[in-house]
Amino acid sequence: MTKKYTLIATTAASFLTPFMSSALNLAIPTIGQQFASDVYLLSWVTTSYLLASAVFLLPWGRLSDLVGRKKILIGGVLLFTLTSLFCGLSWSLPSLLAFRIVQGISAAMIYATAIPILTLTFSPQERGRVLGINSASVYTGLSLGPVLGGVINQYLGWSCIFFLASVGGIVALYFLLRYMSGEWFGAAEEKFDGKGAFLYGTGLLVFMYGASSLVRWEGALYLFILGFLMLVCFVFYELRRKFPLIHLGLFKKNVAFAFSNLAALINYSATYAVGFLISIYLQVVRGVDSQFAGLILLSQPVLQALFSPFAGRLSDRVEPRIVASVGMTMTTIGLFVFSFLSAQTALWFLIINLALLGIGFAFFAAPNNNAIMSSVEKKEYGVASAVLGTMRLIGQCLSMVLMTLITTHYLGKVSLSPIYGGLFTKSMRVSFFVFALICCGGVFASLARGELARKEDKESN
């Protein structure tokens, strides 16, 4: 199979999940009205998907090293296609949450394999460009999501967003089955760490659920502590394993890898809830319909899509930590500006600041991915990609958890309504201020990674 078709197939698969996430944000208020749900329960429409992806990403990444990455990728796209259909057919919020969990598991299969396949197919000199194109496909999905999601929700209903994602899955499957030949293995002779996967998955699940529910009920504190202890046990257990689920030694011996992943965790923790909050703000506080809200939100991912390939190529010539740190600084400024939003803020100002965030995201993501994949050897690509994806997903979960804690503190169990628009706006401003502080810390983590010594450049000399 040629490089071109590998890029097309993986790009098509990578497009699906961000499209689904960004499109669904526009339907959150409508789903809340249909099922009479408060912000806490609605947040789990997004968080359940992210948490399932985070729990299963490392196991899928490890299994892809053992059984082949193409098999896992095709299986993930097939399952994503089916679960999208069932999400659209949901008859209640619990049923939707159940299908979203399975959809998150399928998304983890895609996350765990797309970047390793590209990294193994293309040379180090081409990698920044290719990862930039892959990031552009992600941001194109994010760009089309608000537009199509808003229009579909407005005229056809939120279920049709899932049906469209299912159709997209069929298209991606065609490219994968028609053009992708061969297979990519990482460590076929090694064994899968089942106990480690259980400790990690259960610990993360209990920890995140407990954290998000701290304001909701008293028993959540015990779950929070239990989850934290299980994750600590997971770390000590993995350090003694011959074939661990994740090679924690990478963090100790590789400063660039450790701080690049920390920067990714911080960046996503500070930014992921932006779309969720702004969607509710526009539709509930400002009273615009989902179609118009989608057009406003479009300004952010369009700039991401436009600047990602350029940022990726730039990181091939300029030290990635510099490019990524500039991007995170721009993001910090944008988040801080959002902490002053009110019901009277001009929409043109909102659009400009969303565009600033989009450019900041673009200049962070592709260079940071390039830094991570270039800091490890070929045999570590699978685990490096899985760790990067896990940092992204855990960061996104933490972003939703922090947002949920703050909004639940101010709103309690009331359903979404313009009557409570003032309280929501106050909680939103506090959320953005907290996110800006977190992102500011991420700038220092990004700079602390030091000069990047590209592993493959050393191997070739």
Q: Residue 390 is part of a domain; what is its CATH number? A: 1.20.1250.20
Let me know if residue 220 belongs to a domain. no
Which residues have a Cβ under 8 Å from the Cβ of 315 and sit 6 or more positions away?
Answer: 128, 323, 324, 366, 367, 370, 371
- The answer to whether residue 413 is domain-embedded is yes
Conformation bin of residue 414: beta by default, left when phi > 0, alpha when psi is -120 to 50 = beta
Specify the pTM. Answer: 0.81
Q: Answer yes or no: is 207 within a domain.
A: no
Let me know if residue 214 belongs to a domain.
no
The pLDDT assigned to 458 comes to 46
Range of the domain at 427: 3-192+243-460
Give the pLDDT confidence score for residue 185 in this predicted structure. 58
For the CA atoms of 314, 315, 319, 325, what is the dihedral angle to 10 degrees?
100
Strand partners, 38: 415
pLDDT of residue 9: 74
Encoded tokens for 279: 């969607």
Helix (H) or strand (E) holding 326: helix 320-338
* Per-block mean pLDDT, blocks of 10 residues, the chain (461 long): 70 80 83 82 86 85 77 88 92 91 89 77 72 74 78 88 87 78 60 82 88 79 90 86 74 81 90 88 88 85 80 78 88 94 90 92 84 74 73 86 86 72 88 93 80 51 44
Q: Which pLDDT score is estimated for 280?
A: 87
DSSP notation for 334-376:
HHHHHTT--TT--HHHHHHHHHHHHHHHHHHHHHHHHHHHHTS
The H or E element containing residue 12 is helix 3-25
Q: Supply the pLDDT for residue 461.
A: 44
Q: Choose among 363, 383, 243, 382: nearest CA to 308.
A: 363
DSSP readout, 141-179?
HHHHHHHHHHHHHHHT-THHHHHHHHHHHHHHHHHHHHH
Query: What gap in Å lies between CA 57 and CA 112, rounded to an integer?
Result: 6
Which pLDDT score, from 0 to 100, does residue 460 have?
45
213 within some domain: no
CA pair distance 117, 134, nearest whole angstrom: 11
303 vs 115: CA distance, rounded Å: 22
Whether 209 is in a domain gets the answer: no
The number of distinct structural domains making up the chain is 1
pLDDT, residue 189, reads 60
* Residue 293: alpha-carbon gap to chain centroid: 21
Instruction: Kindly state whether residue 234 falls inside one of the protein's structural domains.
Output: no
